[in-house]
């Protein structure tokens, strides 16, 4: 049966065969609250979490589900690892990624890819890293009693925080992109990035591995999210950065400058 598990988050826990509500509900609450607070996204819409039927996790919206006004976001979760503890980590990594997609979703988007899909994917990959990092510190200082069962395993969260760097090491395509960023050449020579497919995923992990420290160092940088949301669907990287600079507040202006210099150095 559908139930509200946190604010605007709805799910039917019985639909998930291989992860129990005692595990995924408190994690979902932690992640939602964490991302909402960091991004300051203005409006809250209904979000329904369901298991994925085709082993692909994704976030999309449905207009007026059940005849209601407004839009429902649907987050389809693929949680399929054979090891139970890894499935817990998978929930954290996947939900933090997909929930960030909902936060940066451009309103007029249809299902087609758009020129900045690599930027969205990069932010969503960094979102998983930052959530895992914040959860580690939360468990370390024992603030969230609801997640006490994870305390003994908190070191395994490093598997999430180190994931983008691991991809950047192991995949030749990702390695090329990461090297270019590390040498101060940015991503210019790789543009336009593929709009979908394996290379898009690898490139966005490579960029995430180089940009994640800026978000870890200054979580206020997440305040770019509502402004990413404001640009037209077909905008390019230059108009995105121009808009982000124009709307930046002093709490993250310098970090944004560092991010832009990393990606598109002069
Ligand atoms: Zn994604």
pLDDT at residue 256, as a whole number? 98
**Range scoring the smallest mean pLDDT among 96-110, 202-216, 229-243:** 96-110
52 Cα to the center of ligand 1, angstroms: 14
203 Cα to the center of ligand 1, angstroms: 12
141 Cα to the center of ligand 1, angstroms: 30
63 Cα to the center of ligand 1, angstroms: 21
- Residue-averaged pLDDT of the chain: 91
Give the residue among 44, 43, 61 at the shortest CA–CA distance from 110.
Answer: 61
97 Cα to the center of ligand 1, angstroms: 6
Sort 83 into a burial class: Cβ within 10 Å, 0-12 / 13-18 / 19+.
exposed
Give the residue among 228, 236, 265, 262 at the shortest CA–CA distance from 123.
Answer: 228
**Range scoring the smallest mean pLDDT among 59-73, 100-114, 210-224:** 59-73
140 Cα to the center of ligand 1, angstroms: 29
Q: How far is CA 147 from CA 30, 34, 38, 153, in A?
A: 9, 14, 20, 11
98 Cα to the center of ligand 1, angstroms: 6
76 Cα to the center of ligand 1, angstroms: 11
Report the CATH number that the domain containing residue 109 is assigned in CATH: 1.10.390
82 Cα to the center of ligand 1, angstroms: 22
Q: How far is CA 153 from CA 140, 146, 180, 243, in A?
A: 11, 15, 35, 41
pLDDT single digits (tens) 157-210: 999 999 999 999 999 999 999 999 999 999 999 988 877 777 899 999 999 999
pLDDT above 90 for 78: yes
pLDDT single digits (tens) 12-69: 999 999 999 999 999 999 999 999 999 988 666 789 999 999 999 999 877 665 555 5
Question: What's the total number of domains in the chain?
Answer: 1
**Range scoring the smallest mean pLDDT among 108-122, 180-194, 214-228:** 108-122
Residue 238's contacts (CB-CB under 8 Å, 6 or more residues apart) are 264
Question: Phi, psi (5° rounding) for residue 261?
Answer: -65, -30
Residue-number span of the structural domain to which 11 is assigned: 3-263
pLDDT at residue 73, as a whole number? 87
Q: What is the spatial distance between Cα 230 and Cα 160, in angstroms, rounded to a whole number?
A: 30
pLDDT at residue 108, as a whole number? 57
224 Cα to the center of ligand 1, angstroms: 18
Sort 154 into a burial class: Cβ within 10 Å, 0-12 / 13-18 / 19+.
middle
């Amino acid at each position: 049966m559908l139930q509200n598990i946190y604010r605007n988050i709805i799910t039917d826990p019985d639909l998930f065969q291989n992860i129990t509500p005692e595990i995924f509900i408190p994690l979902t609450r932690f992640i939602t609250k964490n991302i909402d607070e960091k991004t300051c996204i203005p409006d809250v819409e209904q979000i329904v979490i369901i298991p994925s039927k085709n082993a692909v996790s994704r976030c999309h919206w449905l207009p007026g589900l059940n005849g209601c006004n407004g839009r429902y976001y649907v987050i389809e979760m693929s949680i399929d690892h054979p090891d139970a503890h890894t499935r817990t980590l998978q929930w954290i990594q996947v939900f933090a990624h997909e929930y960030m997609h909902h936060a940066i979703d451009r309103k007029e988007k249809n299902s087609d890819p758009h020129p900045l899909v690599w930027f969205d994917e990069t932010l969503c990959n960094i979102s998983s890293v930052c959530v895992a990092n914040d959860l580690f510190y939360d468990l370390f200082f024992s603030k969230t009693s609801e997640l006490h069962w994870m305390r003994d395993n908190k070191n395994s969260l490093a598997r999430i925080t180190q994931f983008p760097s691991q991809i950047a090491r192991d995949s030749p395509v990702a390695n090329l992109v990461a090297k270019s960023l590390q040498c101060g050449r940015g991503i210019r020579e790789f543009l336009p990035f593929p709009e979908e497919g394996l290379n898009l995923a690898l490139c966005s992990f490579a960029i995430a591995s180089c940009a994640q420290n800026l978000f870890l160092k200054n979580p206020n940088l997440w305040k770019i999210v509502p402004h990413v949301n404001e640009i037209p669907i077909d905008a390019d990287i230059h108009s995105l950065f121009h808009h982000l600079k124009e709307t930046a507040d002093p709490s993250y202006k310098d970090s944004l400058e560092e991010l832009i210099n990393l990606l598109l150095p002069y």
